[in-house]
Structure 1
Amino acid sequence: MTDTATSTKNAAERIAELRAELDAHNHRYYVLDEPSIPDAEYDRLFNELKTLEGEHPELVTADSPTQRVGGAALSAFGEVRHEVPMLSLGNAFEDSDLLDFDRRVREGLDLPAGDLFGGGATVAYCCEPKLDGLAVSLLYRDGQLVRGATRGDGSTGEDISSNVRTVRNIPLKLQGSGWPALLEVRGEVFMSKAGFEALNVRQLESGGKTFANPRNAAAGSLRQLDPKITASRPLEFCCYGIGQVQGELPDSQVGILQALKGWGLPISHELKLAEGVEACLDYYRNIGERRQALAYEIDGVVFKVNNLAWQRELGFRAREPRWAIAHKFPASEELTELLDVEFQVGRTGAVTPVARLKPVKVAGVTVSNATLHNMDEVARLGLMIGDTVIIRRAGDVIPQVMAVVAERRPADARSVQIPACCPVCGSQVERTQLVKRSKGKETLSEGAVYRCVGRLACGAQLKQAIIHFVSRRALDIEGLGEKSVEQLVDEGLVRSPADLFTLRFEQIVGLEGFAELSSNNLLAAIAASKRPGLARFIYALGIPDVGEETAKTLARALGSLTRIQQALPEVLTWLPDVGAEVAYEIHNFFGDDHNRTVIAQLLERGLQLQEEGELHAEFAAATTLADFIDKLNIPFIAATGARNLADKAGSFDGVIALSQDWLELSVMKGLNDKAKQSLREFFANPDNVARARAIETQLRDFGMHWESEKKAVAGLPLAGQTWVLTGTLEAMSRDMAKDKLEALGAKVAGSVSAKTSCVVAGPGAGSKLAKASELGVRVLDEAEFLGLLQQFA
């Protein structure tokens, strides 16, 4: 056999392998909505096949993946034949690929080429982000939506008419006038990042299957056999073009999209017309910089020749138009091998699995570690050491293991086991217990987190606790980074946060990174941190589940460290956004002997808390007897029964007396027999009576009791309003702006909704500003915001 024949035989075998593998992946991606490899891996296989077929054109067949799009329609849906095929796009991965595309376009149109005296003719391109969703076709006849279909294999798709009608931003009837008698609109059904997160939360709460990413969520939601399920999912639609048309339309791509917008169809807020390829590259870089701030996932940018006559002249290849291309961003998903799973210990003792990976470049960054969250996640993934896994990285987010490629599992793969002892201090590792409290009972269940029981005797927990205590949003001690804290702990100089305030110059100087000047600077920074606000101090303590907002609530409402330390869980639940579980975490933290000792030492060593005062007027006499009864969690007595009981008894002593007077209680209206019997049994228990009296006594002591003196609440100018900050503020930091708004009574949120009162938009504002404009929310620039603050100064 000649070398040429051997080469052709080898190529034919490899082509057959690639076609079989790509067909299998197409089926999983388009039909089953269960992709098993990242897009970047698929693109590499596809390009290898394309190259081999280019070198051996005699081996190209009509059924090759390079000659068609996607896979077959799902048999559970009716089939739809696309009169105009729904083709895929060619890809550009480097800037040079886009430059080559532009050159081919200009050559195909026979436009003047550049020379020494000029750059030649330029082509105008329609630019849009490439949404990561499911391509669909919508058919309108006489302005009425009559059919929806998936792309399928490009020629035949699935009839999903009932489902697309449930997508809220797809008009069932076109607006305005002038639309063609027959109009096929093409676009992407997708799910926003916020919608995706909310859906997964609901799926977890209901015990359903969670989705790996917004694309899978959108595809799985749109292709439900029950349209009611589709209707319950947060799907959106964005159109990017047209198919068959009977009637007149503008003669440019941008013109068509603007016309569609006028008829009520959503188009991209990022739509832009670029003159020439350099303007396209600028658009690509700009979108890339803002990619993580967008409200939806994108994986690149699509460029289309804007002139429709030129599109027709350029025509199509077998699989893709010659007048359009998708410039992809660097892959955010890749395949690699799981070499091992190690365990880290956090500030609260949580023992967390971390994946150690064979290094792989993801989105331009080499990744060798990835988060696994907890052992429940390891079980959900079915993960074993030695597996080939899909790694995802988005922006600055810690890389994450998304899925296991089960078919590549080696024979010697090992299971992942939680250690019995802490890998840092050797203390026992225990699984957390979740306590669910309801009327009259507590239910225990296993939590997802394992904890080291060594607390601050565990070096890892101590280091993390100190790092949190000195962090910028806590006591903000400059000069104490992670390495410095580790040194101080390892040298035995710091065994609790209180030890920071006994450090001496001679103990610090000479440590790695500390000379005379830096040692004096650190001691000065520690001294300057001795007057923290109460909210900062509470946050710095690192109470489980108490973040900045909860710390602010505790400080603002109760007004003093003493009241916060003494507060019973039932009293804490009267505060906004403090639920029963968080209330018990707070109460248990301050009930711990070690924690009380550390706090006492901090105060003895010079900490002077600022912004302490009286109970906030909003909470003075804020409780009612009915609320109090309801908080006692007496079985079979809910809010309505509690109100009826309060009206009848008039006081807490009256409630106890009524519970002991069966004759009086038996004729009482508004409580059923079960509730009456439960009331008698509850107060027959001395422990319940003692607990209830303790709660009532504390309400009196704090001034929250229904018989306490009611205080006038001074109205704050922005009370009840929700504000959002976006972009870069030049006159102050975002944190400072947030503090000023909160001091005026506003709540500062992270996302824009119809309930948002105002958005402050600095330079570089992106998706939040666009959302505000879309919803008609008031927007202030920085100068207007500063003027508003001056009014209230």
Structure 2
Amino acid sequence: MTDAATTPQIAAERVAQLRAELDEHNYRYHVLDEPSIPDAEYDRLFHQLKALEAEYPQLITPDSPTQRVGSLALSAFGEVKHEVPMLSLGNAFEEDDLRDFDRRVREGLDLPVGDLFGGGAEVEYSCEPKLDGLAVSLLYENGLLVRGATRGDGSTGEDISVNVRTIRNIPLKLHGSGWPSVLEVRGEVFMSRAGFAALNARQLESGGKTFANPRNAAAGSLRQLDSRITASRPLELCAYGIGQVQGELPDNHIGILTALKGWGLPISRELQLAKGAEECLAYYRAIGAKRDALPYEIDGVVFKVNNLAYQRELGFRAREPRWAIAHKFPAMEELTELLDVEFQVGRTGAVTPVARLQPVRVAGVTVSNATLHNMDEVMRLGVMIGDTVIIRRAGDVIPQVVQVVAERRPADARPVHIPESCPVCGSRVERTQLIKRSKGKESVSEGSIYRCVGRLACAAQLKQAIIHYVSRRAMDIEGLGEKSVEQLVDEGLVRSPADLYTLKFEQLVGLEGFAELSANNLLAAIADSRQPSLARFIYALGIPDVGEETAKLLARALGSLQRIQQALPDVLTYLPDVGLEVAYEIRNFFDDAHNQQVIHDLLARGLELQEEGELSPEFAACATLAGFIDKLNISGIAATGAKNLAEKAASLDGVIALSQDWLELSVTKGLSEKAKQSLREFFAVEANIQRARAIEAQLREFGMHWQSEKRVVAGLPLAGQTWVLTGALEVMSRDLAKDKLESLGAKVAGSVSAKTTCVVAGPGAGSKLAKASELGLKVLDEEAFLAELAAYGVVA
């Protein structure tokens, strides 16, 4: 009860005073680990504030310490688009992996990497334990917490604002001053060992389900639709970085974390600066030694380049930064019994053995299944059903069988046999063949993978193919999760991806999980997917070894589905990062009659591919006769010999004629006697002549032939130019700068040569800038570069 003489004005002043005191005590307790009052005194102040707010509800604000109790359950979480993607980290498992990471960092920064006479330049890294929890994003505007989100897939997460507000050590209002007007804080929500034990004890007392480990408990608690449940769980936050920012921050990572701590956000108490790989390894060993004594679970150490300018220069690859790495601790192992081996069928038909185990706890998780990879691994291990085996969680994530305890093998142990027929559809199971191609020969050996030949007639392959086809990065058909796909296949409504486009409302609305609204939403999402980009479509087809980046390359380079379907393996290898094995996978996929029918049906049912066009100008006339000869893989003829032969013969017909004129060939310079003999033998085989002519004909048809016309992109101001980016760019990332240049028609190269048009050099530019100066090339700093972009109407 409050004093009867209390007036609204006095109450408001007392509320403000109590909030300030409680915020300070929260900060001292959670961030500084220096509590200045007993818990009982904190509780007394808290109840005073609660009583005043109950009497004067108009004084309640969202940032009050009392507003952490949760609210009524939501029906679902909304989506949050991350303005700056929340990327995953690359992993190091061995000390040499970390040393390799440090070497790549120094090479990427053009710093000396050292030799026999010295260790080269050393990079400063921030070091902190890798908490085993759930990554979150906290958005503060003008110092107030306005949104919380999960990492999700890195681009899109779930809005969990109501839940993060219940976490005691997350400030609802930033402390102090000087924080940016917009500040996105990123961190890990976790549960301490003590908090986890207490939670499970409460669960047992109430007859509830216990949790397997603190990470699962934290993740499940944070994703409760009823935030009152989240409020009852002992969750904590540890901030490790930032996302979008509008305002000034320090120019190094540890400086930023120190600023966050000053504003009331908890950071790791083990945060430390290390110089060079060896100091990082010393930190890793020290943390490993005290791992079990820490009050929370960790699964490794995170190292980040401390200098932000260096981070920007290093940039990103695919889904991870080049300036950070997670050095994982060695996996934990346990003994258990192998009860059985079952076989699963994947999207490509691979039949994979899976170990069914007597459940055992490994690294805090109960494991009942483990991977055996393939039958070659089963043979290598010598594993039999009934064996006692050693289980390891590789990288603390994927359980696998690593060893058999042979002396414990029971008398009734049974060998593991690959099934002759598919366990799902009954089709024949065949062992794959590996074809290795090298100069002058092709060898065939048995592969380690067994495949069901049923293709889309196999429900397992069909389900996985459709799950991939509808996924976010493929055709992005929202509303088709794994269970829905399985149901559609099991009901016989979908027998190929093309059948998705014939689904009717009345077929869906009666199915489990589909009411009138959800059925209409799914049909609308399917309709919206009828105009995919060529790159999305190629990726959605699920071609073996063709990921998202390779699909983009095929679409950008060849420009049309028809050319991609027709492309010979030898022609595909003219594209960067497409090796011969991947090229044959692409060719085999499009040669398959089942795949041809699916593509035909998809196009017949209304799919209209977008962004199709001509061959990319950078590949017009990209082939040379010398390169063509080299790619024929004639024994004894490498790049130099191919160049000499091209200069002598001047054309494919000339090469064939020379191979058949022994007298002329014998006096040809630049070829060894072995190479001359190999050339004669190669073109003495009619099939080789036909293959060479077919490759040349396709190069000519595509416009890639050495006699084809060089082209530039019409209307793009930088078409035909080659630019190089070096040093740190401060206004935009190197990746964004590359995108801007490519949108203007320029090619962005990784090295400087006489053909380079311009070099953009930011702070810290090294050898590339020096070489540009030696060659007298045009060099722009970032300010001049941005001005040039603006002149072309491109906004930074």
TM value normalised by structure 2 = 0.53
Query: How do residues 331-346 of structure 1 correspond to structure 2 at under 5 angstroms?
Result: 332-346=332-346
Displacement of 1:449: 0.5
- C-alpha displacement of 1:537: 0.7
Q: One-letter code of the match for 2:354? A: V
Query: Which residue is equivalent to 1:532?
Result: 532
Aligned-partner residue type, residue 532 of structure 1: P
Distance in 2, matches of 1:394 and 1:748, equals: 37
Residue deviations 1:93-144 (CA, integer Å, cap 9, x gap): xxxxxxxxxxxxxxxxxxxx999899xxxxxxxxxxxx9989xxxxxxxxxx
- 2:641, 2:671 within 8 Å by CA — same for their partners in 1? yes
Is the alpha carbon distance of 1:656 and 1:369 closer, same or farther for their aligned partners in structure 2, counting shifts above 3 Å?
same
Question: Is 1:583 matched with 2:583?
Answer: yes
2:357–2:368 Cα contact (<8 Å) kept: yes
Distance 1:267 1:636 in 2: 46
- CA deviations over 1:45-78 (Å, ceiling 9, x no partner): xxxxxxxxxxxxxxxxxxxxxxxxxxxxxxxxxx
**Aligned to 1:296, what secondary structure does the other structure show?**
strand
Give me the identity figure in percent. 70
CA 1:689–1:271: 2 relative to 1, 3 Å: closer
Question: What's the secondary structure of 1:576's corresponding residue?
Answer: coil
* 1:373 aligns to 2:356 (yes or no): no
Give the CA deviation at 1:414: 1.8
Distance change >3 Å, CA 572–CA 294, structure 1 → 2: closer
Q: Which residue of 2 aligns with 1:568?
A: 568
RMSD of equivalent CA atoms:
5.0
Counterpart in 1 of 2:459? 459
- Look up the match of 1:594: 594
Counterparts of 1:477 and 1:608, CA distance in 2: 16
Amino acid at match of 1:337: E
Structure 1 residue aligned with 2:499: 499
AA partner of residue 298 (structure 1): F
Give the 3-state SS of the residue equivalent to 1:369 in structure 2: strand
CA contact (8 A) 1:723 1:748 kept: no
Instruction: Name the CA distance, whole Å, in 1 between partners of 2:736 and 2:681.
Output: 53
Matches within 5 A, 1:135-534: 284=296, 295-298=326-329, 332-393=332-393, 397-534=397-534
Moved more, 341-350 or 262-271: 262-271
Quote the offset at 1:574 in angstroms: 0.7
Inter-partner Cα distance in structure 1 for 2:698 and 2:594 = 24
Q: 1:599 is paired with a residue of what secondary structure?
A: helix
> 1:657-704: per-residue Cα shift (whole Å, max 9, x none)?
222322222211112233223323332333222221111111111110
After TM superposition, the structure 1 = structure 2 runs for residues 9-24 of structure 1, keeping only pairs within 5 Å, are: none
Alpha-carbon distance in structure 2 between the residues aligned to 1:720 and 1:452 = 48
Q: For the residues of structure 2 that align with 1:132 and 1:674, how far apart are their CA atoms? A: 46
Does the CA-based 8 Å contact 1:347-1:463 persist in structure 2? yes
Q: In 2, are the aligned partners of 1:623 and 1:705 still within 8 Å (CA)?
A: yes
- The whole-number CA distance in structure 1 between the counterparts of 2:748 and 2:338 is 44
User: Are 1:603 and 2:634 an aligned pair?
Assistant: no
AA partner of residue 329 (structure 2)? I
Q: What does residue 665 of structure 2 align with? A: 665
- Aligned residue for 1:237? none
Q: Does the 8 Å CA contact 1:615/1:703 hold for their aligned counterparts?
A: yes
Q: Which runs of 5+ in 1 are unaligned?
A: 1-112, 119-130, 135-166, 176-253, 300-330, 726-730, 750-756, 760-777, 780-786
**Taking structure 1 as reference, are residues 682 and 537 closer, same or farther at Cα in structure 2, changes over 3 Å only?**
same
Other-structure match for 1:541:
541
Going from structure 1 to structure 2, the CA distance change for 1:172 and 1:616 (only over 3 Å counts) comes to closer
Is the 8 Å Cα contact of residues 338 and 356 (structure 1) preserved in structure 2?
yes
Pairing of 1:671-686 with structure 2 (within 5 A):
671-686=671-686
In the TM superposition, what is the alpha-carbon distance from 1:741 to its structure 2 partner?
Answer: 10
User: Does the aligned pair in 2 maintain the 1:356–1:369 contact within 8 Å?
Assistant: yes
Q: CA deviation at 1:341?
A: 0.6
1:362-403 deviation line (CA, Å, top 9, x unaligned): 333322111111111122222221222222235783322222
Q: Is the 8 A contact 1:476 1:529 kept in 2?
A: yes
Work out the CA distance in 2 between the residues paired with 1:722 and 1:451.
47
Q: Is the 8 A contact 2:300 2:326 kept in 1?
A: no
- After superposition, the Cα gap between the structure-2 partners of 1:738 and 1:545, relative to the gap in structure 1 and judged at 3 Å, is farther
- SS of match in other structure, 1:393: strand
Q: How far apart in 1 are the matches of 2:653 and 2:277? A: 68
What is the one-letter code of the residue matched to 2:522?
A: L
Offset from partner CA, 1:633-669 (integer Å, 9 cap, x none): 2233222221111101112222222223222222111
Matches for 1:117-136 after TM superposition, within 5 Å: none
Deviations 1:459-507 (A, max 9, x none): 1111111111111111111111111111111222111111111111111
Q: 1:133 to 1:545 in 2, by over 3 A?
A: closer
- The question of whether the paired residues in 2 share the 8 Å contact of 1:169 and 1:266 is answered with no
Once the two structures are TM-superposed, the CA of residue 270 in structure 1 deviates from its matched residue by 7.9
Q: Secondary structure at the match of 2:446?
A: strand
1:491 & 1:263 partners in 2: Cα distance?
57
| Contact 2:723–2:749 (CA under 8 A) maintained in structure 1 | no
| Distance in 2 separating the partners of 1:415 and 1:168 | 53
The secondary structure found in structure 1 opposite 2:690 is helix
Contact 2:534 2:555 in 1 (8 A): yes
Q: Distance in 1 between matches of 2:118 and 2:404?
A: 41
Aligned positions of 1:39-54 closer than 5 A? none
1:419-476 deviation line (CA, Å, top 9, x unaligned): 1111111111111110011223210011111111111111111111111111111111
Q: Tell me what 2:266 maps to.
A: none
Report if the CA contact (8 A) 1:501-1:526 is conserved.
yes
| Aligned residue pair count | 489
Contact 1:722-1:748 within 8 A present in 2 as well: no
Give deviations 1:491-548, integer Å, cap 9, x for gaps.
Answer: 2211111111111111111011111111111110100111111111111111111111
Q: Which residue of 2 aligns with 1:637?
A: 637
Q: Distance in 1 between matches of 2:737 and 2:521?
A: 28
Asked if structure 1 preserves the Cα contact closer than 8 Å seen for 2:394 and 2:400, the reply is: no
DSSP-derived class of the 2:326 partner: coil
3-state SS in 1 of match to 2:412: coil
Q: Unaligned 5+ residue runs, structure 2?
A: 1-36, 43-91, 96-112, 122-268, 304-319, 751-760, 764-780, 783-789
